[in-house]
Chain A
Amino acid sequence: MRGLLVLSVLLGTVFGYEDFVGHQVLRISAADEAQVQKVKELEDLEHLQLDFWRGPTWPGSPIDVRVPFHSIQAVKIFLESHDISYEIMIKDLQSLLDEEQEQMFAFRTQVQSTDTFNYATYHTLEEIYNFMDLLVAEHPQLVSKIQIGDTYEGRPIYVLKFSTGGYNRPAIWIDTGIHSREWVTQASGVWFAKKITQDYGQDPTFTAILNNMDIFLEIVTNPDGFAFTHSKNRLWRKTRSLTSGSSCVGVDPNRNWDSGFGKAGSSSNPCSETYHGKYPNSEVEVKSIVDFVTNHGNIKAFISIHSYSQLLLYPYGHTTEPAPDKEELDTLAKSAVTALTSLYGTKYKYGSIITTIYQASGSTVDWTYSQGIKYSFTFELRDTGRYGFLLPASEIIPTAQETWLALLTIMEYTLNHPY
């Protein structure tokens, strides 16, 4: 009821351009007929400019009246001196209207289709989650949304599943945004999701891939961190978990995996950007993926996407000992990078994590590789330091396009080399 009343007032505002700053809405309770008469007297005082939403009728029936700011004191004194009880229903009408207008406009500008979604700009968590629902609604035969857990702060963690059928088919896993400040990665993830729905049935190579394998895509792998980069600190990297005994927040989710955990290449200082956490998988964001991967049991390629530095990396990060499949991974990385560079000439280096970038222990792909997922890769997307994390939005689509070519190379190779 109140919503309707407010809406009508809003429309009044729209057409009458009235301002309701400081106006209050009172609910008056007239105890007897005499009091009802008194309130009717108020009605007659035109200079007060009272607007009765629910006029005085009989005792016990609530009387709702909008009182302009300049009349508030007079009305209250009048009611109190006659012992007529009242309560303040709306303390400031204008602010309530502003709030509701905002909500209405927010709802209106919310995208209604993945075809009108703007891929060349950075989005909030709500916008990306909304995008996912739209994509699923538009392609129900191809795309579904799975919740693999809840974040530390209670946000749902979603993975998109792209599948053309079968049961527990060999699968490709792609994640973006595990480090929340690496905004070009989540943005690329959104683009990849759309690209998959566009290319299936159109591009022969990709169609063959999806006819035989499933793709799991986790676009916002660190939702709490991502929300924090929008609300408070654009350069936040870690999760937002609290560490007992420390005033510092967050664990580096790419040092929290159970492979070489706690070794050099991560920090035991909770205030550090590479803090590994108290024990492996302490972070629910990491544990959710571990459980998913373990339960699925048939993931054949695992790709974790970061920025920046323009690198394609394979295990190990925690030791200089070469991975048993180093030769094959190196050859595959080389072809993936060649494909990537072919589009815009963007130069990438490739190699094992420890020899190409730096020692990193407890990292994602060291663990996935140790679980038998042979084609485990980490990307570091654009750029090489000019803008770093603060990559201009104009580079989102070119970055996503060239990275997609590398992903296709890896996916196609995985399809053709079952193990």
Chain B
Amino acid sequence: MQPRGQLRSAPRPGPARPFAPPRALLPLLLLLLALRGAAATLKDPGTVDAPEPPSPGMLQQAARAALHFFNFRAGSPSALRVLDKVQEVGWQVDPTRGYQVNLVFSTQAYHLQDRERRLGRCSAQVLFKNQKPGPAVTVRCAPLPEKHMLREDRLLFKQLKQLKGALNVSSIPDDYGNIDPSLRPMWDLAVLGSSYVMWERTTQFLYYYPLRISSVKQWKTSDHAIDFDYIILLHEFPTQEIIPCHIHLIWYPGKWLKVSYHCEDMQTPEASSGTEEGSAVAPTDFSNF
């Protein structure tokens, strides 16, 4: 910017360009704008008006988050569950902490062959922390047939250990929705790992489904664990974006499941989700501001 006239010596007080906020605040502003813009059905807990009961959308979000968390903690690829019916039991809003939803929900087995097996109900408390992803979840489900689960997982573990050519895998399922029967256990394990990621990324507005494994980076099996490093594509609602997440998991039936991940958000903050662990993508395009 050229100085106007030669008499100007000291810089004027205040920002040089009054209508441009300091650069450091821009990402935050964009993020806030994005979150406010997204899915207006879901109530913003920080509003000035009296807090309102959770909308049906909010309730679904809470149930999704709770179920992802449950699946992750159960650590069993054989016993993955999907959401059935949801019912609100209570709610409370604390402006400093966030919006808490208490709910009960029923589930179905993820695996279609187990569809008929009766699964108990779950109850959960889900706290959406003001504009932050990774809601705090407390969830309890009716006792699982643990012995059965463990047996199935051990069988799955054996199948996975015998898997040949895992590193050559690309696209499970393929373009036509097919999964080779020998690769099904790998898909189930990948979905289990993604449960952790989906729980962490879910907010009042954003939810996910795992779409496909796009590549396998590493596959190590031993008597003690399966070490699985892969990229899975998550389908994000309501943005409709496809988010590639690089997940590294270590699993042993009945013993442990460890997950670390890094997701690539390609978009600028306007269409992105919240931050993920240590990998917030710096926005590079401010043209929409």
Contacts and interface: CB of A to CB of B under 8 A. Distances in A.
Contacts of B241: 272-273
A269 B266 CA distance: 12
A268 B177 contact: no
Of the four ranges (under 10, 10 to 19, 20 to 34, 35 or more), the interface on chain B belongs to 35 or more
A267 B238 CA distance: 11
Interface string B177-213: 1100000000000000000000000000000010110
Contacts of B270: 267-269, 272
Nearest to B37: A264
Interface string B153-178: 00000000000000000000111111
Of the four ranges (under 10, 10 to 19, 20 to 34, 35 or more), the interface on chain A belongs to 20 to 34
Interface string A348-373: 00000011011110000000000000
A361 B133 CA distance: 25
A190 to B, nearest CB: 15
B200 to A, nearest CB: 18
Contacts of B32: none
Given A235-B242, A358-B41, A390-B211, A269 B285 contact: yes
Interface in A244-282: 252, 264-265, 267-269, 271-274
B221 interface: no
B218 to A, nearest CB: 24
Contact of A273 (B36, B40, B240): B240
B288 A358 contact: no
Nearest to B238: A358
Contact of B240 (A237, A264, A271, A384): A237
A355 B173 contact: no
Tell me the dominant secondary structure on chain A's binding face.
Answer: loop
B107 interface: no
Contacts of B82: 384-386
Contacts of A145: none
B211 A386 contact: no
Contacts of A86: none
A391 interface: yes
B252 interface: no
A235 B212 CA distance: 10
B240 A386 contact: no
B175 A274 contact: no
B215 interface: no
Given A235-B233, A390-B177, A359 B238 contact: yes
Interface of B: 36-41, 55-57, 82, 110, 173-178, 209, 211-212, 233, 235, 237-242, 266-268, 270-271, 285, 288
20 contacts: A122-B176, A234-B175, A235-B233, A235-B242, A237-B240, A264-B37, A264-B38, A265-B37, A265-B40, A267-B270, A268-B270, A269-B285, A272-B239, A274-B239, A358-B38, A385-B82, A389-B211, A390-B211, A392-B173, A392-B176
